[in-house]
A and B are shown apart, each in its own frame.
Chain A
Amino acid sequence: MSDGLTLLVLVPLLALFARAWLAALPDDLRELVVFGATSLFATLLAKALIERLWFHRTDGVLARDAQRADDGIAFFGPLALAGAAVGLSVLAVLGLVDPTGMVLGVCSGLPAGALFPFLREHVRRWWRRFAPTGLRSLAQIRLSLPKAAALSVMVGMVSLALPSAHCLDAVFIGVYALGVILLTAQVDARVVRYMTLVGHEGASLLRHWLPLQLCLLGPLAIVLLLAQEPVSTTVAAIIAAALPVVTALRIFAYRAVSRLVGDWAVALVILAAVYAGLTAPPLGPVVIVAAIIWFARRGVGFRWLLA
């Protein structure tokens, strides 16, 4: 109920904010946004419909019908068109009306989304069949904390050895940080819920996710700070501080509210923090910390709870 109310309040507010922001964009940029948004929406819609059709073919109660190509097309076609119409209406509400961009977006997005699940399965099969065992097990490596810290220091040393012309060292740090984000920033809401259900407290949840991030980024920032490299240090310090904070925010949000509301709330808090940080810099971190504390307090009662 509270999730529904939150959405009821947040969605119109967000829509108003987005409409005002989009109206201020230059025309050519707005056209690009229309195309991008339409294309992305159509892609996600088509992907979801194809995956739903696959579900019906294997596990659904209408499996017999779903196996037939004609019925599959009859399922996909009208729903894709109806979904696209809803999506375009939402864009129109947001003030994004550009017929050319919309048509191009739908025409490129729908086929791309419909093909994506097939392509993904093909790549997975290929990977299972041809990728060397060593390479496949790479994805399951769990880095120990001392090794992560050593890697972080090593990356710092390498970046110091790189020429600083064209900010090559900062780019190197950025690429490394991106890798760290991709590997360690995933927070599965169901895992947070499960851990809460089996009795983990907030601190224990943080201990599950944050130490690896801190070990991969903290020593790097310290090395660069000691070497007095201003650009690289700034990049590393911002990421080393921001990633654990955003991760903590997501963990506490997922513990306190549903995943959907948590994702929205985290996005809004980050937006608010960035806005506050740009207008009155000390306020940015305050917004984030306040949100973390609020979510943490709200989620305390969920420990062990199986409602």
Chain B
Amino acid sequence: MTAAIAITALNVNRGGLPIVQDVSAAVMPASWFGVIGANGSGKTTLRRAIAGRLPIAQGRCVVFGEERAQDRGARAQVIGFAPPIEHFPASLRLRQLLELAGDPLEAQHERNGDLWDALGLKELLDIPAGECSSGMRQRAAIALAFAKPCPIVILDEPFNWLDPVAAFDVRAVLARLVAEGLALITALHDLTTLCGFCDSGIVMAKGRVSLTLDTDRLRAGRNDPVRFESDLVAALR
């Protein structure tokens, strides 16, 4: 089976400094890939580079069998990405943010109805971004990643700011979308989601992969969370 994304020896620089070095991983279709790491470990840079939001300095990035490392636009076209909430213009309503980012609103609602329900988005559409709380903006950011139909979606710590009910519902919808074929990459800080929902993942430290998490290891983590956490913390240090 062709991987949705396969990166090999990937290097990404920011401001001339190497932030991500020699990272390799593969994400299959219909799978949830978790990226976990300490603050400043290069998670955000890696995700942005894969999503075409940053250039790749070196290495390979194969998307559905085609080499795209040097074609940032092509990666951005096929990968849904949640823009950081601080980039939302205060003057625009959430409805306008969604319309500008993808399909007409009706089409988005028709396609992502369950996700919108889980996010409680319909009630937020007419609120200007400048008047939204961080949680409201985070809901919009998740919906923005699905504003266009994309086979791969990358979300940055999607459950931050969400209340427990919304987080629970959104997790369930995302799991269903993955089961239907979506390749989902998320940065995570909570081990519950990592063990309970992800099929594979990596742990990053100082810009490199310090631990690879395959399905068996994640399954073992579900059964013995204390041991899993201590292994993970050791890899993060």
Contacts and interface: CB of A to CB of B under 8 A. Distances in A.
B53 A193 contact: no
B64 interface: no
A119 B76 CA distance: 47
B100 A195 contact: yes
A188 B83 contact: no
B53 A305 contact: yes
Contacts of B92: 191, 194
B100 A198 contact: yes
A272 interface: no
Nearest to A199: B76
Given A194-B100, A198-B83, A198-B144, A304 B89 contact: no
A307 interface: yes
Contact of B91 (A188, A208, A305, A307): A188
Contacts of B89: 188, 190-191, 193-194
Q: How would you classify the secondary structure of chain A's contact residues: helix, strand, loop or mixed?
A: loop
A205 to B, nearest CB: 10
Interface in A190-212: 190-191, 193-195, 197-200, 208
Contacts of A200: 100
A303 interface: yes
Nearest to A303: B73
Contacts of B53: 197, 304-306
Contacts of A199: 76-77, 101
Nearest to A201: B73
A191 B91 contact: yes
Given A194-B100, A198-B100, A199-B76, A306 B83 contact: yes
A304 B87 contact: no
Nearest to A208: B100
Contacts of A191: 89, 91-92
Contacts of A188: 89, 91
B201 interface: no
B86 to A, nearest CB: 10
Contacts of B72: 304-305
B52 interface: yes
B90 interface: yes
A122 to B, nearest CB: 20
A303 B87 CA distance: 14
B88 A194 contact: yes
Interface in A288-307: 303-307
B19 to A, nearest CB: 12
A194 B54 contact: no
Interface string B1-37: 0000000000000100000000000000000000000
B48 interface: yes
B97 interface: yes
A306 B144 contact: no
B65 interface: no
Nearest to B88: A194
B120 interface: no
B84 interface: yes
A305 B54 contact: yes
Contacts of A190: 87, 89-91
B205 to A, nearest CB: 23
A305 B72 CA distance: 9
A266 B100 CA distance: 25
Nearest to B148: A199
Interface string B36-54: 0000000000001000111
A194 B88 CA distance: 7
Given A190-B91, A194-B92, A304 B97 contact: no
A305 B56 CA distance: 12
Contacts of B90: 190
B48 A198 contact: no
16 contacts: A188-B89, A190-B89, A190-B90, A191-B91, A194-B87, A194-B88, A194-B92, A197-B83, A303-B73, A303-B76, A304-B52, A304-B73, A304-B76, A305-B53, A305-B54, A307-B54
Given A197-B83, A208-B100, 10 more contacts: A190-B90, A194-B89, A194-B100, A198-B83, A198-B147, A200-B100, A304-B72, A306-B54, A306-B83, A306-B84
Instruction: Give 10 closest A-B pairs by Cβ, nearest first.
Output: A306-B53, A190-B89, A304-B76, A198-B101, A191-B89, A194-B89, A306-B48, A304-B52, A188-B91, A195-B100
Interface of A: 188, 190-191, 193-195, 197-200, 208, 303-307
